A = this chain, B = another copy of it.
Amino acid sequence: METPSELAFSCPVKKNQYDHVLLAHGGGGTLMQNLIASVFLPAFSNPLLNQQHDAAVIDLGGTQVAFTTDSYVVQPLFFPGGDIGSLAVHGTVNDLAMSGAKPLALSLGLILEEGFPIAELKRITASIQAAASRCGVVIATGDTKVVNKGKGDGVYINTSGIGIVPEGVLIHPRQVQPGDVVLVNGDIGRHGMAIMAVREGLEFESAIESDSAPVSDLVGQLLAAPVAIHCLRDCTRGGVAASLNEIAASRRLQIELMEESIPVRPDVEAACEILGFDPLYVANEGRFVAFLPEKEADKALAILHAHPQGQGARVIGVVRDASQPLVTMQSALGSTRILDQLSGEQLPRIC
């Protein structure tokens, strides 16, 4: 596995110089951005896709409908704090929430590998239903395909989702302004480290559990308050650093983080140190960054701290005008380092 320092700076954003797909093309870093910029956007260019938002928002007869999709190929299928089923529900519900939408319904596309135990399938479907119930969504439509033994990995799941964006809500990267503060809704790096600890057979005093959880209810409370949120982005593949780099690049702004404000649990920090990861680049599945005017921050934090998914919320940074897009982090000692976009995910198949 490549280390962050080898990966950083290795790849220009606009050009794909590879002849074959690499694992890192699915990692949420610059390699994936290259694939999007060099293959997908030129092929499919249209105003909805070009938004490059977590969900496309479509006007259907005056109703703003958010529409999103995600496939899940995580290994192992079951991990502390969740499994591929609950992950597939939370991930897509959270993508809808990032556009300000109230999630309504999911589709479920299963690609099963021949020989997969029916008992495990039932365990996963039960987990999907439990997660859907918690999120207040239904599995409205589904499809099952089976591939030959050896041509899958037990089960791959696609969930697509639709939701409704309340009237007057406009959450979008282009709303981000210099002077906005950046909040995160809790401690970071847990999902990636939960998966890695299982893969590497690491044992801690207690297992690190994934943060996999739906944030749609919390986002709904923020919008209903109302808190004047400019933009939301979940911090999945590539972690907080990838999400912030995407926003910085799309708005050509600088985002300055304060290292001492970044919430990381000690066990996650220890696991990151053992395995050589930076928690800012590690995937989360229940964490998002919010951009909002500084004067709204206290109101937002009060709502966040009162909610199970926001108890560890913190202001972690601020947005500045810049000559070129950049994410930087200031240490407690006053030194500043650049948090660049990685070329791929440090941890393949994390979701």
- The contact sample of 10 A-B pairs, CB cut-off 8 A, is A21-B113, A21-B116, A26-B112, A26-B147, A44-B125, A49-B138, A58-B105, A61-B62, A145-B156, A156-B156
Query: With A129-B44, A146-B348, A162-B162 in contact, is A20–B115 under 8 Å at CB?
Result: yes
Within the complex, what minimum Cβ distance (angstroms) separates A38 from chain B?
Answer: 9
Within the complex, what minimum Cβ distance (angstroms) separates A345 from chain B?
Answer: 10
Query: With A21-B115, A158-B109 in contact, is A147–B349 under 8 Å at CB?
Result: yes
Query: With A125-B43, A160-B160 in contact, is A67–B143 under 8 Å at CB?
Result: no
Q: How far is the CA of A119 from the CA of B152 in the complex (A)?
A: 23
Q: Which of B32, B67, B107 contacts A140 (CB 8 A)?
A: B67
With a CB–CB cut-off of 8 A, which chain B residues contact A46?
Answer: 138-140
Query: With A68-B107, A114-B23 in contact, is A49–B140 under 8 Å at CB?
Result: yes
Chain B, residue nearest A48 (CB): B140
* B67 touching A145, Cβ below 8 Å: no
With a CB–CB cut-off of 8 A, which chain B residues contact A129?
Answer: 43-44
* A25 touching B147, Cβ below 8 Å: no
Q: Name, among A16, A71, A111, A164, the residue most crowded by chain B CB atoms within 10 Å (CB to CB).
A: A71
Query: With A18-B118, A25-B112, A71-B158 in contact, is A55–B141 under 8 Å at CB?
Result: yes
Within 8 A of B (CB), among A109-165: 109-119, 121-122, 125-126, 128-129, 132, 138-148, 150-153, 156, 158, 160, 162, 164
Query: With A141-B55, A142-B49, A152-B151 in contact, is A39–B121 under 8 Å at CB?
Result: yes
Within 8 A of B (CB), among A26-80: 26-27, 32, 35-36, 39-40, 43-44, 46, 48-49, 55-56, 58, 60-63, 65, 67-73
Interface flags for A149-193 (1: CB within 8 Å of B; 0: not) read 011110010101010100000000000000000000000000000
Q: Which of B24, B112, B122 contacts A43 (CB 8 A)?
A: B122
Within the complex, what minimum Cβ distance (angstroms) separates A127 from chain B?
Answer: 9
Q: Is A108 an interface residue (CB 8 A)?
A: yes
Q: How far is the CA of A39 from the CA of B109 in the complex (A)?
A: 14
Query: With A109-B69, A142-B40 in contact, is A60–B164 under 8 Å at CB?
Result: yes
Q: How far is the CA of A20 from the CA of B122 in the complex (A)?
A: 11
Chain B, residue nearest A69 (CB): B107
With a CB–CB cut-off of 8 A, which chain B residues contact A146?
Answer: 21-27, 73, 348
* B60 touching A145, Cβ below 8 Å: no
Q: How far is the CA of A141 from the CA of B58 in the complex (A)?
A: 11
Within 8 A of B (CB), among A68-97: 68-73
Q: Is A19 an interface residue (CB 8 A)?
A: yes
* A56 touching B140, Cβ below 8 Å: yes
Q: How far is the CA of A93 from the CA of B56 in the complex (A)?
A: 18
Query: With A117-B19, A118-B18 in contact, is A71–B349 under 8 Å at CB?
Result: no
* B104 touching A43, Cβ below 8 Å: no
Q: How far is the CA of A160 from the CA of B129 in the complex (A)?
A: 20
Q: Which of B21, B65, B125, B143 contacts A112 (CB 8 A)?
A: B21
* B71 touching A116, Cβ below 8 Å: no
Q: How far is the CA of A125 from the CA of B21 in the complex (A)?
A: 14
Q: How far is the CA of A153 from the CA of B22 in the complex (A)?
A: 14
